[in-house]
């Protein structure tokens, strides 16, 4: 397996496919999944001549199941370790959900200052901040995230069946047809990772405030979100992020779920390509 060791000694697994001379696209996965969640997009861009890179977040997938460092500062630094190890330049970063937060923090704190970033795309992403605070009255109550922590601690395997079976892909909507293979693959990816990393990661994706990151990002950024996203409600995420970014394009997808990269890849992938090529 291809890995890089971070400054704090954590082994991060990554994939690096395609011509080394081609423009790189780096993918940042959602919680509690792995880089495998990007299979469809990676193969799509590979077929269009791009170099595609994706890593498993610390404590997730095939990366080391360490006890500490499950926060956005470490997540972004780990992404930077992969980028710098491969010496990637002119990179398009694509992040989904928690990975959208990670990609945002990476671009603002590492990639843009180093001049390595061409564009940013965030999909169903958690910025600016998910939890309800005095400054973010439209956010979700902390009780929502406490409930996620309890479900994970009580029976992680069952929780990782219930979430994709229901709101993640909007399979709980009237008339929806759940795809068992998609549910199974979500469960498989989740159970590959470590329980503590996933438990701590809930705080990282829900309580991190990305407002200042969004304000300093100047590279062209595409903000994509489904208006039926039951995991990251659009009103307090994409609509606010697009306003904070200096150079953003907002694209809203009617009735698309949180996991739209899987359920609607036939629509999402061409839109990603069009923005990358623009």
Separation CA 123–CA 263 (nearest Å): 13
> Catalytic residues, which ones?
97, 229, 258
d(CA 188, CA 236): 30
Crossing angle of helices 195-207 and 98-106, in 10° steps, is 70
CB 86 within 8 A of CB 55: no
Vertex 68 angle, CA 11 and 84, to 5°: 40
Task: Name the burial class of residue 127, with classes exposed (0-12), middle (13-18) and buried (19+) by CB atoms within 10 angstroms of its CB.
Answer: buried
Give every strand in the sheet of 248-253, ordered side by side: 3-5, 11-17, 51-55, 24-28, 91-96, 117-123, 221-226, 248-253
Is 213 in contact with 127 (CB distance < 8 Å)? yes
Would you give the end-to-end CA distance of the chain in angstroms? Answer: 34
β-strand pairing of 221-226 with 248-253: parallel
Q: Specify the pairing of strand 248-253 against strand 117-123.
A: unpaired
Parallel/antiparallel/unpaired status of strands 51-55 and 11-17: antiparallel
């Amino acid at each position: 397996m291809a890995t890089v060791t971070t400054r704090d000694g954590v082994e991060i697994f990554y994939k690096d496919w395609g011509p080394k001379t081609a423009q790189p696209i780096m993918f940042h996965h959602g919680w509690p999944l792995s880089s495998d969640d990007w299979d469809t997009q990676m193969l799509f861009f590979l077929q269009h001549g791009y170099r595609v890179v994706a890593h498993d977040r610390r404590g997730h997938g095939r990366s080391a199941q360490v006890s500490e460092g499950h926060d956005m500062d470490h997540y972004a630094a780990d992404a930077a370790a992969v980028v710098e190890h491969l010496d990637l330049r002119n990179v398009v970063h694509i992040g989904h959900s928690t990975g959208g937060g990670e990609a945002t923090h990476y671009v603002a704190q590492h990639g843009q200052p180093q001049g390595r970033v061409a564009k940013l795309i965030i999909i169903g992403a958690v910025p600016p901040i998910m939890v309800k605070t005095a400054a973010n009255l439209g956010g979700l109550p902390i009780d929502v995230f406490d409930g996620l922590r309890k479900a994970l601690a009580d029976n992680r395997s069952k929780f990782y069946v219930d979430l994709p079976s229901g709101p993640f892909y909007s399979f709980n909507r009237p008339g929806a047809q759940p795809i068992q293979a998609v549910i199974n693959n979500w469960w498989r990816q989740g159970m590959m990772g470590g329980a503590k990393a996933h438990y701590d990661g809930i705080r990282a994706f829900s309580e991190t405030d990305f407002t200042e990151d969004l304000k300093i990002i100047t590279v062209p950024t595409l903000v994509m979100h489904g208006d039926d996203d039951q995991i990251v409600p659009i009103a307090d995420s994409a609509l606010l992020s697009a306003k904070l970014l200096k150079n953003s394009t907002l694209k809203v997808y009617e009735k698309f779920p949180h996991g739209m990269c899987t359920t609607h890849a036939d629509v999402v992938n061409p839109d990603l390509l069009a923005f990358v090529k623009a």
